[in-house]
C-alpha cells in the first residue's frame, strides 16, 4: 500500500528540511511520497522543497492562482497517487513519528484515523488558557451542531490519515480552515479512530491563524449544518414551536373564557396540549427519519426536554433580572437559550 503525505505550506522554508528528514526516517519501511502544496510563498518554500526533492521523495505543487489551506489539501488529494492519504502541517507541530500509528489504525479497519489532542494520552503544550478554551468551545459547538461528528473528540485536527475512497469523487468545499470537518461530514466512511498526540507551539515561522478564524469557523459549521439538513430541522422545529404557542393560547382561552376554569390551573392542561402538539409535528415532520427509540421513550424525553428548557429559561431570567437587566429583555434571552437547549436535547436524545 502506497502512502501519500500531503503537506500544505505557506512560508515554511525553515521547517522543511527537518520535516522531510523525520518523515523519511519514520516511513523508511513504507512505500510513500510527500506532496507539498505551496501557495507561491514569498520565502520561496516551493523552491527549497524542489531542491530537497533530490534527497527525498517529494513532489512540489506551486499554486499561483489559488490560495487557502483547505483548497491546498484538496489539491493534494487530487494529485496523490497513494492508497492512503496523510495530511499534516509543515511546522512540526504534528510529529511525523505519529504517522505509523495512524497507518496502523487504518490497517486495523479504520477509514479515517485522526491524530487527536483530546483523547486520553493526547494534549496541547504551552498553550495559554484562552487558546485552550477557544479550541474546546469551538469543538463543542461543532459536535453539538453536527450530530454526525458528535463522537469525534477532535474533529478539527489538521493531522489525519484516510483511505483514498473516503474522499475520491466527493465534492469538498475549499472554503475554511478545517478540512477534516469537511471530510467527516461529506466523506464516505464507516469507522473513525483517534490516536493521541501532543500539539505544541510551532517551531519556526509565523502562524497563519488570524482573528477572523473563529468567525470563519462558525460560518463553516453553519454551511455544513445546511448541507447536512440540520438547518432545515432547526427551521422546522421553530415553526412547530410557533404552532405550539397558538395551541397553548387557544386552549387557555377556551378553558378560561369558554369553560370558566381557574386561570392558574387552566394553564397546565393548555401547556400539556401544546407539548403534545409539538411532539406530534416534530415526530411526523422535523425528525421523521430519526425514530430510533420507541414512541413512549420519545414522548418521555420530549417532556424532559420541555422541562429542562423551562428551568433553563427561568434561571437565565432570574439571573439577568438580579443583575439589573430589564425583565422583558431578560425573558427574551431566556426564551432564546431555552429554545436552543430544547432543540439540542431533542436532536441528540429524543431523536438521537
Ligand atoms: N498552501 C497553503 N498552506 C497554508 C495556508 N495557510 C496555512 N498553511 C499551512 O497550513 C499549516 C497550518 O497552518 P498554521 O499557521 O501552522 O496553523 P496552526 O497550526 O493552527 O497555528 P499555529 O499554532 O500558530 O502554528 C502550515 O503548514 C501552514 O504553512 C495557505 O493559505 N495555503
Ligand atoms: Mg501550526
Integer angstrom CA distances of residue 106 from 24, 29, 33, 83, 86: 20, 17, 18, 11, 11
Residue of minimum CA distance from atom 28 in ligand 1: 9
How many beta carbons lie within 10 A of that of residue 140, not counting itself?
A: 10
The average pLDDT across 46-66 equals 97
Does residue 73's CB lie within 6 angstroms of at least one atom of ligand 1? no
Q: Which of 10, 63, 204 to mutate to test the pocket of ligand 1 (most atoms within 8 A of CB)?
A: 10
Q: Which stretches does DSSP call E strand in the chain? A: 2-9, 31-38, 58-62, 84-87, 112-116, 123-124, 160-163, 192-196, 198-199
Residue 209, pLDDT above cutoff 70: no
Helix or strand holding residue 214 (H, E): helix 213-228
pTM of the model: 0.92
pLDDT tens digit sequence for 259-311:
999 999 999 999 999 999 999 999 999 999 999 999 999 999 999 999 999 99
Does residue 37's CB lie within 6 angstroms of at least one atom of ligand 1? yes
On whether the CB atoms of residues 154 and 117 are closer than 8 A, the answer is: yes
Bin 44: left if φ > 0, else alpha if -120 < ψ < 50, else beta.
left
Nearest-ligand number for the alpha carbon of 15: 1
On whether the CB atoms of residues 266 and 255 are closer than 8 A, the answer is: yes
Residue 328, pLDDT above cutoff 90: yes
On whether the CB atoms of residues 178 and 153 are closer than 8 A, the answer is: no
The average pLDDT across 226-246 equals 97
Integer angstrom CA distances of residue 13 from 18, 35, 90, 144, 322: 10, 15, 9, 38, 56
Distance, CA of 200 to CA of 35 (rounded, Å):
23
How many beta carbons lie within 10 A of that of residue 13, not counting itself?
A: 20
Strand partners, 85: 4, 162
How many beta carbons lie within 10 A of that of residue 251, not counting itself?
A: 20
Residue 241, pLDDT above cutoff 70: yes
Does residue 207's CB lie within 6 angstroms of at least one atom of ligand 1? yes
Q: Which of 204, 208, 210 to mutate to test the pocket of ligand 1 (most atoms within 8 A of CB)?
A: 208
Cα 331 to ligand 2 centroid, rounded to whole Å: 43
CB-based contacts of 273, cutoff 8 Å, min separation 6: 247, 248, 251
The average pLDDT across 178-202 equals 95
Distance, CA of 174 to CA of 281 (rounded, Å):
37
**What pLDDT, on a 0 to 100 scale, did the predictor assign at position 212?**
75
Which CATH fold topology does 2-228 show?
Spore Coat Polysaccharide Biosynthesis Protein SpsA; Chain A (3.90.550)
Residue 210, pLDDT above cutoff 70: no
**What pLDDT, on a 0 to 100 scale, did the predictor assign at position 215?**
87
Q: Which residue's entry shows cell 497517487?
A: 81
Secondary structure percentages of the chain, helix, strand, coil, to 5: 55, 10, 30
Cα 22 to ligand 1 centroid, rounded to whole Å: 19
| Residue 211: band (very low, low, confident or very high) from pLDDT cuts 50, 70, 90 | low
Fill in the DSSP letter of residue 109: T
Residue 335, pLDDT above cutoff 90: yes
Nearest Cα to Cα of residue 304 among 351, 247, 346, 352:
346
User: Average per-residue pLDDT in the chain?
Assistant: 95
String of b and e for 254-292 (b: at least 16 CB within 10 Å)?
ebbeeeebeeeebbeebbebbbebbbebbbeebbeebee
Distance, CA of 87 to CA of 80 (rounded, Å):
11
The average pLDDT across 72-97 equals 97
Q: Where are the domains of the chain?
A: 2-228, 230-350
Nearest Cα to Cα of residue 203 among 3, 54, 22:
22
**What pLDDT, on a 0 to 100 scale, did the predictor assign at position 87?**
98
Residue 141, pLDDT above cutoff 90: yes
Amino acid at each position: 500500500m502506497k502512502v501519500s503525505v500531503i503537506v500544505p505550506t505557506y512560508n515554511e522554508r525553515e521547517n522543511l528540511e527537518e520535516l522531510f528528514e523525520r518523515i523519511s526516517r519514520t516511513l523508511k519501511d513504507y512505500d510513500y511520497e510527500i506532496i507539498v502544496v505551496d501557495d507561491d510563498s514569498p520565502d520561496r518554500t516551493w523552491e527549497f522543497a524542489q531542491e530537497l526533492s533530490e534527497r527525498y521523495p517529494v513532489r512540489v505543487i506551486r499554486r499561483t492562482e489559488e490560495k487557502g489551506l483547505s483548497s491546498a489539501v484538496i489539491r493534494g488529494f487530487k494529485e496523490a497517487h497513494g492508497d492512503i492519504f496523510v495530511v499534516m502541517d509543515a511546522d512540526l507541530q504534528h510529529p511525523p513519528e505519529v504517522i505509523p500509528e495512524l497507518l496502523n489504525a487504518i490497517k486495523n479497519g479504520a477509514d479515517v484515523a485522526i491524530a487527536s489532542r483530546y483523547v486520553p494520552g493526547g494534549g496541547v503544550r504551552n498553550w495559554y488558557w484562552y487558546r485552550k478554551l477557544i479550541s474546546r468551545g469551538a469543538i463543542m459547538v461543532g459536535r453539538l451542531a453536527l450530530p454526525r461528528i458528535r463522537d469525534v473528540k477532535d474533529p478539527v485536527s489538521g493531522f489525519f490519515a484516510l483511505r483514498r475512497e473516503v474522499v475520491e469523487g466527493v465534492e469538498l468545499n475549499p472554503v475554511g480552515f478545517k478540512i477534516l470537518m469537511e471530510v467527516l461530514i461529506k466523506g464516505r466512511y464507516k469507522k473513525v479512530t483517534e490516536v493521541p498526540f501532543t500539539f505544541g507551539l510551532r517551531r519556526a515561522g509565523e502562524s497563519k491563524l488570524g482573528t477572523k478564524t473563529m468567525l470563519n469557523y462558525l460560518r463553516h459549521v453553519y454551511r455544513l449544518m445546511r448541507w447536512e439538513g440540520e438547518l432545515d430541522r432547526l427551521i422546522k422545529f421553530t415553526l412547530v414551536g410557533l404552532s405550539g404557542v397558538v395551541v397553548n393560547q387557544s386552549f387557555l382561552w377556551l378553558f378560561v373564557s369558554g369553560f370558566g376554569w381557574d386561570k392558574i390551573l387552566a394553564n397546565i392542561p393548555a401547556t400539556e396540549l401544546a407539548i403534545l402538539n409539538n411532539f406530534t409535528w416534530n415526530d411526523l415532520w422535523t425528525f421523521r427519519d430519526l425514530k430510533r427509540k420507541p414512541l413512549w421513550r420519545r414522548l418521555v424525553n420530549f417532556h424532559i426536554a420541555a422541562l429542562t428548557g423551562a428551568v433553563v429559561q427561568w434561571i437565565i431570567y432570574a439571573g439577568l433580572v438580579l443583575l439589573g437587566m430589564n425583565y422583558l429583555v431578560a425573558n427574551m434571552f431566556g426564551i432564546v437559550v431555552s429554545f436552543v437547549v430544547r432543540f439540542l436535547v431533542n436532536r441528540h436524545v429524543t431523536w438521537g
